[in-house]
Structure 1
Amino acid sequence: MSPFSQINMAKSQQIYATFVNGKVITKQVYDLYQQSFIDSPLYTELYNNLEHFTQLYQHIGFTLNFNVDGEFFYISRSEAEEDADTNATKIQAMLLIIARYWVDKGYDLDDLMTPVIGLGRTALEEIAEQTIYDDIRQALGIETWDKALNYLSDRNFLYQCGDKHYILSSAGMHFLNLHVEKYSQEQD
């Protein structure tokens, strides 16, 4: 029996489509209908068949990356480093704006992953009103704050959990925690 026959073809195709659209696959996704995090079947498929998918992506010119701390998968390609750097810069800058706003308000960063708290309409309006944040957004080439949120959401770094209400995914929180840790080390 071929290793390919043991893999769910529909899920494999969904995984590929997710990756080539610049998204990450997180262990859990936010389900609007259940209003809670649920396990991602795509993550489970990848995790349970890691060797297969690692080889598959190597054969088609990608590297399958698994981030243990953030519990997410993504692919990379050395030829696409410039595009990846641009995307990473946009993602990190937008996440840092959110974190800076959040911390300045005296909130705990972990609350950004809590659906009943998260990033609501008021917070989004206050971020949009701050000139420095708006200048950064414009410098990144993102036209509006709605497009910035869609940019993060489309790549699974942010999940919408209501009208103008968002929470960070494990991948988004992982990047924030890396920056907090790096900043803390620099202060020591």
Structure 2
Amino acid sequence: MEQHETFFFPPTVNPVRSQQLVKRLARGEIINRKSYNEGTSQLEESELYVSLAGNYEFYKALYLHMGWHLIFNTQGEFFYVSRVPEEDALEEGDPNSNRINYTLFALADNMVKRGFELGVLWSLHGGISNEDLAQMPDRDSEQWTVMTALGFKDDVWAEGIKTLKTRGFVFEDSRGSIIFSNAAKYFIEHLINKFAGEGSALRVATVPTES
């Protein structure tokens, strides 16, 4: 007779948060350590992140039986699930898909070309304003063409940002500016070596150390 492993839920595992985690991770969202509180306009510790971090081995085994690899990126301080092991996740595009990759890269590249430092993107006092978005490349540009090829339609930059928000890579602050999460910061730094070349304003040396 086939033996089935029995899971005993630790007392520190909250059933309501577990349900929230399944829904969000299954949608392809990442769980950042910090989440934006619109009431205080500050970043606060995410309860979902705390639950995952405090019960990581339990959740890791649980999700594995569901066919997912729960990946804890300690450098970027975020969690996500992948259908492939951690060592293959970046190359397989989960959550580092081409749509996520290119949208993050294009936004950062254009901000730097306009004279901003990368640190502005993840600063609560900076971000990408509506005025900045109006300066993004138009329909005749190569970047617009690439975004269209990736499946974005109509206003490709607005759609790209909507995707990033849904996945947890950016959030909108009380001013209406788009701020990169710590996960987005991590992936931008990862992508610089992969994509930066002639015609790109991004270089490894331009990435400031977060204070």
Aligned residue number for residue 90 of structure 1: 99
User: Which ranges in structure 1 are unaligned for 5 or more consecutive residues?
Assistant: none
Aligned residue number for residue 155 of structure 1: 167
- Aligned partner of 2:57 among 37, 51, 60: 51
How many angstroms apart in 1 are the aligned matches of 2:27 and 2:63? Answer: 15
Of 85-94 and 169-178, the range deviating more from structure 2: 85-94
User: Which ranges in structure 2 are unaligned for 5 or more consecutive residues?
Assistant: 1-6, 197-202, 205-211
Q: Per-residue deviation at 1:120?
A: 0.4
- Cα RMSD after superposing both structures: 2.3
Q: TM-score, normalised by structure 2?
A: 0.79
Q: Per-residue deviation at 1:129?
A: 3.1
Q: Per-residue deviation at 1:28?
A: 0.4
Aligned residue number for residue 36 of structure 2: 30
Task: Compare the two structures and name the one with the higher helix fraction.
Answer: 1
How many angstroms apart in 2 are the aligned matches of 1:122 and 1:108? Answer: 17
How many angstroms apart in 1 are the aligned matches of 2:25 and 2:93? Answer: 12
Q: Per-residue deviation at 1:87?
A: 6.6
Aligned residue number for residue 101 of structure 1: 110
Q: Quick one: percent identity of the two aligned structures?
A: 28
Contact (CA 8 Å) 2:82, 2:94: kept in 1 or not?
no
Q: Per-residue deviation at 1:56?
A: 0.6
- Aligned partner of 1:122 among 127, 131, 137: 131
SS in 2 for 1:4: coil
Q: Per-residue deviation at 1:103?
A: 1.3
Q: Per-residue deviation at 1:42?
A: 0.3
Aligned residue number for residue 181 of structure 2: 169
Deviations 1:85-116 (A, max 9, x none): 69710000000101110111121111101122
Deviations 1:123-169 (A, max 9, x none): 11111537232212111111122221110000000111146411000
SS in 2 for 1:90: helix
Aligned residues: 182
**Superposed, which structure 2 residues align to 1:125-140 within 5 Å?**
125-129=134-138, 131-140=141-150
